Structure 1
Amino acid sequence: MHKLFGHDDRFLLQRLRSELDALGIPYLVKNEFAGGAVGELPWQDVQQEIWLLDEAWFHKASQVVVGLIDCLADPQTGAWVCENCGENNDGGFDICWHCQHSRPT
């Protein structure tokens, strides 16, 4: 297993999980339900992390993380319109959130 990403923002982690699910990338969420232990344990020990179950997916999964981080830095960077359904998508997404059509290359 290989650690892919960790963060305390649950919405950010869910966004990443959705992208990984859409691509069929197998992962494990560590500390998913440990948030209640904050104060009893150091925050670093309860922070949610996403771990890859198969390191063969590391390159593709890393691209998803980079796209997500780029999108957070400037949400308008890389925004695109789906050729299939016309939906607007953030730059961090490689698959349309509405119809699951791939981003044009």
Structure 2
Amino acid sequence: MKLIYSNENQFLVNNAKNILENHNIEVTLKNEFASGAAGVLAPIDTWVELWIINDIDEEKAETILAQALKQQGEHDWFCQQCQEQNDASFDSCWQCQTEKAS
């Protein structure tokens, strides 16, 4: 098992977990309930951790998470075909299905 992602925000860690599971990568969470020890432990030691089960999935998981995190920093885009505004995570227009321009 290898630690692949950690964050103080449990929602973000669970989102990363869902992304990897959707790519058939087995994962598990650790420190889900460690926030109660804040003050006794260093704050970073209470962050939720996402671990991959099979070490051979490490490179694939890192690539998938890097792509997902990159998309979080992107901005919404407008379709060249129908001028509809689309969320940055969409690869094609939700209205007319035109592919996102590179």
TM-score norm. by structure 2 comes to 0.70
Shift of 1:40: 2.0
Unpaired stretches in structure 2, ≥5 consecutive residues: 77-87, 96-102
Q: What's the % identity of the aligned pairs?
A: 24
Q: Confirm or deny: 8 A CA contact 2:8 2:44 kept in the other structure.
A: no
Q: What are structure 1's unaligned runs of at least 5 residues?
A: 88-105
- Which residues of 2 match residues 1-105 of structure 1 at below 5 A? 1-76=1-76, 77=88, 79-81=90-92
Q: Is the 8 A contact 1:5 1:51 kept in 2?
A: yes
Q: 1:10 offset after TM fit, Å?
A: 1.4
| Distance (whole Å) between structure 2 residues aligned to residue 74 and residue 38 of structure 1 | 33
Q: Which runs of 4+ in 1 moved over 6 A?
A: none
Following superposition, the deviation at residue 75 of structure 1 comes to: 4.5
Q: Report the CA distance shift for 1:39/1:75 in structure 2 as closer, same or farther (over 3 A).
A: farther
2:4 is paired with a residue whose SS is strand
SS class of match (1:80): coil
- C-alpha displacement at 1:31, in angstroms? 0.4
Q: Secondary structure at the match of 2:29?
A: strand
SS in 2 for 1:45: helix
In structure 1, C-alpha distance between the alignment counterparts of 2:71 and 2:18, rounded to whole Å: 15
| TM norm structure 1 | 0.68
Q: Return the index of the structure with the highest Cα Rg.
A: 2
Query: Matches of 1:11 and 1:81 in 2, distance apart?
Result: 26
- SS of residue matched to 1:36: helix
